[in-house]
Amino acid sequence: MTTPRPAELKNFAVHTMTNKPWSLAECCDRYAAAGFGGISVWRNVIEPIGVDEAARIVKGSGLSVPALVRGGFFVSADNAKRQAATDDNKRCIDEAAALGAEMVVLVVGAEPGTPLDEARRQVAEGIGACMDHARANSVRLAIEPLHPMYAADKSCVNRIAEAREICATLGDPLVGVAVDVYHVWWDPDLATEIELLGREDRLFGFHVCDWRVNTRHLLTDRGLMGEGCIDIARIRAMVEKAGFTGLNEVEVFSEEHWAEDQDAYLATIADACLKRS
Amino acid sequence: MTTPRPAELKNFAVHTMTNKPWSLAECCDRYAAAGFGGISVWRNVIEPIGVDEAARIVKGSGLSVPALVRGGFFVSADNAKRQAATDDNKRCIDEAAALGAEMVVLVVGAEPGTPLDEARRQVAEGIGACMDHARANSVRLAIEPLHPMYAADKSCVNRIAEAREICATLGDPLVGVAVDVYHVWWDPDLATEIELLGREDRLFGFHVCDWRVNTRHLLTDRGLMGEGCIDIARIRAMVEKAGFTGLNEVEVFSEEHWAEDQDAYLATIADACLKRS
């Protein structure tokens, strides 16, 4: 652990969910010690300690905070539930502001029985209802398109194209898109869509991980960069060409990796980042 | 079993893989007795008995045969493997002709490490190499776009748009598309794409099943129509509006259903078809 880490690691942030067994304090300590530049904080690690304590820990670490994860879930046939979602997203924006997070990542939601185009209309409406609050707190909102295998109940936005459409509808510079290679790597329009995101100043976040060729579970079997089939370097080149200069955020949900010794795993993560694979 | 089945069931065919525990003879007997109009035959049920015996069984059943399933797997960085795939697809066309199947369904293939656009080029080339053979045998070839979760190693064609592009490249009236609701239901361009397929005379097949909201396995956890979140009636209306008059093919891969009593399951399938859900 005394070997100085290459400065390049400063270009990477890690999502706390990547090291699910760790508390926020453990994540901050380890990420900072390993030489990462940032941390993206999931709300589940704030919940047990409260946002003031979480903010104290994060600010004390010296790590930058690209994102608070996650708001969204705007879709419901029930008006009261949609209102509750808006209220919760405002609390999420408050937490992001307290932590000094640049953006809230939005998993926008979907609901069996609600057609996807109607769901996207509800998403635009829900985000719209949060914009004043986002502006007052100087927090950006990043729509994350999720892979089409999550269209049933997690996200009605499954391509960058639909995320851009919602951004255009809202027309607010604080709304943009988080591009996660896991969700979009298969998209035949990927290069064009990323270029357009750049041109429209909507490219807020870039998440990395990998798609395991024999994926065993729809939610918790992602690969670390290099363990799957995604040409991450190619997609990184696209986002850089589009003008993205933010941190690369490592976001891996993996039962397999969560079961490992997390210190050893973090060293592997650092190596994977430095390979720029 | 003495209740006469409504004539509407004649509009449906069942894929032998839906009743995986059954032999081809069992499938033919049961589907005909239940009142289905057709059978789509998977190659695994031909293999143990040979194509002549398979043809005898199928023709004796009086069932029509929309499809032989499946050819394809054209993608490889290795020239010899691509040649072997072409040869195998020609054998598949021979089998389809022997069975009197209208079309061969193509799962086109993908390969980790081969970029998806290069893979699609290989697919167009591979299909092109089979066209003379398809024409000589009067067998249609139907590209089946597979869900993006199969882009790693099963199909580089994940939307109808890319399937249409390959059809346009080949420009042969014997090449078209099989639309399976499972793979395309999430596509924001679905209505437009199906309309275009109709206009271009490329809508060869229509497969039905359902997407279970909490899908437990990427390959073998499909739902029977009504067990998931797909608005099948809406998609059926699209294909009918586009001029499709073929059979609706029931294609369900499900460990859960394969473990059931297959006679009882087939009665449930018939009910699901008649509900037109």
| pLDDT tens-digit readout, B2-54 | 455 678 999 999 999 999 999 999 999 999 999 999 999 999 999 999 999 99
A227 → chain B, closest CA residue: B112
Separation CA A230–CA B112 (nearest Å): 8
What is the pLDDT at residue A7? 85
Q: Which two tokens stand for residue B102?
A: 């209208």
Contacts with A219 from chain B: Cβ below 8 Å? none
Q: Which two tokens stand for residue B178?
A: 């099989």
Looking up tokens 């690209």 gives A66
Name the amino acid, one letter, at B160.
I
Separation CA A141–CA A166 (nearest Å): 12
Q: Counting beta carbons within 10 angstroms of the beta carbon of residue A172, is it exposed (0 to 12), middle (13 to 18) or buried (19 or more)? A: middle
Contacts with A185 from chain B: Cβ below 8 Å? 151
Average pLDDT over residues B70-96: 98
Name the amino acid, one letter, at B116.
L
Q: Counting beta carbons within 10 angstroms of the beta carbon of residue B202, is it exposed (0 to 12), middle (13 to 18) or buried (19 or more)? A: buried
Separation CA B47–CA B50 (nearest Å): 5
Give the H or E element holding residue B45: helix B43-46
Is pLDDT above 80 for B162? yes
B217 → chain A, closest CA residue: A217
Chain-wide mean pLDDT for chain B?
96
The three-state secondary structure class of A178 is strand
Using one digit for the tens of pLDDT, what is the confidence trace for B41-76? 999 999 999 999 999 999 999 999 999 999 999 999
Is pLDDT above 70 for B124? yes
What is the pLDDT at residue B2? 46
Model confidence at B276, pLDDT cuts 50, 70, 90, reads low
- Do B112 and A186 lie within an 8 Å CB cutoff? no
Looking up tokens 């809406």 gives B234
**How far off is chain A from B77, nearest CA to CA, in Å?**
15
Average pLDDT over residues B225-240: 98
Residues 200 to 229 of B: which have CB under 8 A from any A CB?
Answer: 211, 213, 215, 218, 228-229
Q: What sections of chain A are H helices per DSSP?
A: 24-34, 43-46, 51-61, 79-99, 116-136, 160-170, 181-184, 190-199, 232-241, 255-258, 262-274
Contacts with B158 from chain A: Cβ below 8 Å? 186, 188
Q: Which two tokens stand for residue A35?
A: 């030489």
Separation CA B156–CA B75 (nearest Å): 9
Is pLDDT above 90 for B98? yes
Q: What DSSP state is assigned to residue A206? A: E
Residue A236: C-alpha distances to residues A78, A124, A194 (Å): 40, 28, 10
Name the amino acid, one letter, at B260.
E
Q: Counting beta carbons within 10 angstroms of the beta carbon of residue A140, is it exposed (0 to 12), middle (13 to 18) or buried (19 or more)? A: buried
Average pLDDT over residues B214-218: 95
A161 → chain B, closest CA residue: B188
Dihedral (Cα; A194, A187, A38, A19), 10-degree rounding: 170
Contact A148, A116 (CB under 8 A): no
Q: Enumerate domains of chain A plus CATH numbers.
A: 7-274 (3.20.20.150)
Up-side HSE of residue B40: CA atoms within 13 Å toward CB?
28
- Do A186 and B158 lie within an 8 Å CB cutoff? yes
Looking up tokens 């609706």 gives B248
Residues 160 to 199 of A: which have CB under 8 A from any B CB?
Answer: 161-162, 185-188
Q: What DSSP state is assigned to residue B271? A: H
- CB contacts < 8 A, A to B, total 65
What is the pLDDT at residue B6? 76
Contacts with B112 from chain A: Cβ below 8 Å? 213, 228-229
Name the amino acid, one letter, at B158.
N
Q: What DSSP state is assigned to residue A75? A: -
Contact A112, A152 (CB under 8 A): yes
Contact B65, B58 (CB under 8 A): yes
Contacts with A186 from chain B: Cβ below 8 Å? 116, 148, 151, 158
**How far off is chain B from A60, nearest CA to CA, in Å?**
40
Using one digit for the tens of pLDDT, what is the confidence trace for B129-143? 999 999 999 999 999
Angle value at C-alpha A86, between A81 and A89, nearest 5 degrees = 125
Question: Mutation test of the interface with chain A: which of B120, B229, B234, choosing the one with the most A Cβ atoms within 10 A?
Answer: B229
Nearest to A149 among B113, B149, B187 (CB): B149
- Do A186 and B153 lie within an 8 Å CB cutoff? no
What is the pLDDT at residue B7? 85
List of chain A residues with pLDDT < 70: 1-5, 276-277
Sign of CA dihedral B242, B244, B248, B251: negative
CB contact B261 to A (< 8 Å): no
**How far off is chain A from B213, nearest CA to CA, in Å?**
6
- Do A148 and B153 lie within an 8 Å CB cutoff? no
Contacts with A234 from chain B: Cβ below 8 Å? 115
Separation CA A211–CA B165 (nearest Å): 26
- Do A213 and B153 lie within an 8 Å CB cutoff? yes
Separation CA A206–CA A14 (nearest Å): 12
A150 → chain B, closest CA residue: B213
